[in-house]
Copies of this chain bind each other. A is one copy, B any other.
Amino acid sequence: MDKMSRSERIGVMTKILLDQPNQIYTLNYFSELFGVAKSTISDDVMLLRRALDTFNLGTLETVVGAAGGVKYIPRPGGSRISDFIMMLCDRLSEPQRILPGGFLYMTDLLFMPHVAERVGEIMANKFYDTNPDFVITVETKGIPIALMTGKALNCPVVIARRDSQVTEGSVVTINYVSASSKRIRTMSLARRAVRQGQRALIIDDFMKGGGTAKGMIDLLGEFGVDIAGVGVMIATQQPEEKMVENYAALIELKQVDENSRKVVLEPAAWVFNE
């Protein structure tokens, strides 16, 4: 292979680093890949970092020490987060999303890969410093954003199931009370999925009373797993008091009025300060 130009190296480096956010690549790795000196790679990294920073497209973090190197942190900057959340609010307030019973249809947005990926990046950003070992959600609608949060944090994703499944091996099952419907529901987690002492980041698409999040916390408690944080895409304004104390929501749902066909949502205040 001919020696590549700096531009070519940076294209390839960007692809490799961005493919697996939060994964450390040593300067040696790139030095050997491209057949150039480590100091040259070091200059490449500085240049790429500056370019990404200029457009608020995330950042490169240099990690020193024996296991050192460089990693990509998807940290949308400037008004990227708030612009995106406001766009989501716009889409979610479309009157045709109102379902009988005052529910809001949002599955289409949750399962658009690039929407899920942006939400995942914002969640990862928010909880980056809490250092979770895995991301957990309960099936089904929260899975895309949980998966993309896991991607951005470079950690595995674990799923609590509604029913116990033969393909999960032995499971621990709990009953919990849905705060909004007051019904008893069930949640299972495969015994082999997590280990005692790990830290879990709970991610879900929607929180009303917080019963499901509370259920996940209780279920993880059975495994001796600590909670790094709870993040939801949308939380309803009512009831104000949720069954979990600390959580971060991206969007607050203030009102869904079936008669006037009106949906009122607002970005959470913190998204403007990121």
Contact = CB atoms under 8 A, between A and B. Distances in A.
Interface of A: 1, 4-16, 18-20, 33, 44, 47-48, 50-52, 54-55, 57-58, 99-101, 103-108, 111-114, 116-117, 139-141, 143-144, 147-148, 150-151, 154, 156-159, 161, 166-169, 190, 192-193
B103 A159 contact: no
Nearest to A141: B167
A168 B110 CA distance: 12
A153 to B, nearest CB: 9
Contacts of A151: 113-114, 117
CB-CB nearest 7 A-B residue pairs: A113-B151, A8-B51, A14-B14, A111-B157, A11-B51, A11-B48, A139-B140
Contacts of A156: 108, 111-113
B144 A157 contact: yes
B158 A111 contact: yes
A105 B192 contact: yes
Contacts of A147: 111, 113, 116, 143-144, 147
A116 to B, nearest CB: 7
A161 B96 CA distance: 21
- Stoichiometry (number of copies): 2
Contacts of A106: 167
A119 to B, nearest CB: 12
A168 B100 CA distance: 10
A181 to B, nearest CB: 10
A33 B55 CA distance: 10
A17 to B, nearest CB: 10
Contacts of A143: 140, 143-144, 147
B99 A157 contact: no
A101 B166 contact: yes
A12 B157 contact: no
Contacts of A50: 8
Contact of A99 (B116, B117, B166): B166
Contacts of A113: 147-148, 150-151, 154, 156-157
